[in-house]
Chains A and B, each alone.
Chain A
Amino acid sequence: MVERQNRRQRALIITLVIICILLVTVYSRESKDGLFHRLQRFSLDIVSPLQKGMSKVLSPVKDGIGYLTDLGDAKSERDRLKEEVESLQDVVDELEEMKLENKTLTKMIAVKESRPDLEYLVVDVIGANPDVWEQTIQIGAGYSNGLQEYMAVLSEDGSLIGRITLCTSEVSLVQLITDERSSVGAMLQNNAEMGVVKGEGRGGVRLELLNQDAEVETGDVVVTSGLGGTCPAGIPVGTITEISERRADLSVGIVISPRASLTRLDRVMVVTSPLPRTAPIKAEEGG
């Protein structure tokens, strides 16, 4: 009995499989307008209104499922966007840096064009002296790059910031004009009255005029005089911001605001030609 049932079942399966094979064969061989293709199109036409209706009815369910699956997508999307923002931020930072560099270089080119008689070497600032009593910076070039002591060092806009006081093969030490030991020959731009610019430490600079009776006013521009043979003439140093009463030695106290921003130096220009002819005037010599 069971054997007969099994045989019947096997026969049924074989029959069904044969029907399937025939269907697949006929369907695969018939044209798009064949009987089975037309039957499929007809069936789809019949069922499509039902599908549309059900789609409308089930749209909240679909939205709910979509919302749930989107949560997973949203998380991965958030992570992806986070990464993208980070990488874009890196690009923005890089571009900002390039923009600043471009601005600096543009200024340097302008300085170079305004003073064709001078030759410069652009050098990166690599550090500052940690000693509070010394107003110096270190730059990333030394005598192997053609630098030597007493060369004038300018900011990106061509203002005097100091002089090289120590040169190694790869690094140089620049004494800023604010250093108490700094002393540079200078003059007033409007009347060529000569004097010496001396550092006062902690960002201060003063001008000592040779002619104590010279006409001087706040706002006057001070430039290097070229005397002393270290700094070329005509390099802007700063602007007079304060003129005090005559002191006991009858000299006038003149305070200068340096034109260069001495606390924000990334790159400087070292005047490599003409070469300094002598050692600088010592501060204690009073010019």
Chain B
Amino acid sequence: MHRRLTFFAVLVVALLIQLTVSPEIGIGSVKPDILLVATICWALFEGPGQGALFGFSAGLLEDIFSTAVLGVSAFAKILIGYFSGELRQRVISKSVVWPMIIVFFGSILHELIKFATWAIVGLEQRPPFSFGVIAGLALYNSLITLVVYPVIRHFAGLEDRALMFQ
């Protein structure tokens, strides 16, 4: 019960920050994807199944609260959440550096999945692909992880069984 509550609390707070704060702290066209960072952090604590579920919920909410094609972000975040959760069992470390690295590469993969999906769906008005923007977003997201990761760890009450990376 506590876990579900935390799940929804983290999800809602991340969504609110994504919708209200993220656009205000953007650098140029790069706005941090708080929901993605939260998805990866959650997956790193809870594993692939929970990561995928969190990613689906976060992506779906993101799609609903935007004008993007419904389901694309959800799809991308399911995959990222799942694979991030898979990494939990392979990496043991208390350092925040590993989540930052995972978020960095996860962000790049997330955007590539979105672009690929848009292309498959045949979306006509796709944003122009820019690897510079994607790299900037990945970097920004990994910096945001410095804040998001400890917060989620705290709220998830996972301090004692904090994720160990190796």
Q: Which residues of A contact B (CB under 8 A)?
A: 5, 8-9, 12-13, 16-17, 19-24, 26-28, 36, 39-40, 43-44, 47, 50-51, 53-55, 58-59, 61-62, 65, 69
Report the Cα distance A5→B122, complex, angstroms: 36
Q: Which residues of B contact A (CB under 8 A)?
A: 16, 19-21, 23-28, 48-49, 52-53, 56, 59-60, 63-67, 69-72, 74-75, 78, 82, 117, 121-123
Q: Which residues of chain A are near B52, meaning CB under 8 Å?
A: 9, 12-13, 16
Main secondary structure of the interface of B (DSSP, over half): helix
Given A23-B71, A50-B20, A54-B21, residue A16 in contact with residue B56 (CB < 8 A): yes
Report the Cα distance A36→B157, complex, angstroms: 36
Judge whether B69 and A47 touch: CB under 8 Å: no
Given A24-B117, A43-B64, A59-B24, residue A12 in contact with residue B75 (CB < 8 A): no
Judge whether B72 and A24 touch: CB under 8 Å: yes
18 extra interchain contacts, Cβ-Cβ under 8 A, other than A21-B75, A23-B74? A9-B48, A13-B49, A13-B52, A13-B78, A16-B52, A17-B78, A19-B71, A20-B56, A23-B63, A24-B75, A24-B121, A26-B70, A28-B122, A43-B64, A44-B67, A47-B19, A50-B19, A50-B20
Judge whether A44 and B49 touch: CB under 8 Å: no
State which of A24, A43, A47, A50 has its C-beta within 8 Å of the C-beta of B71.
A24
Report the Cα distance A19→B75, complex, angstroms: 9
Report the Cα distance A20→B55, complex, angstroms: 12
Q: Which residues of chain A are near B21, meaning CB under 8 Å?
A: 54, 58
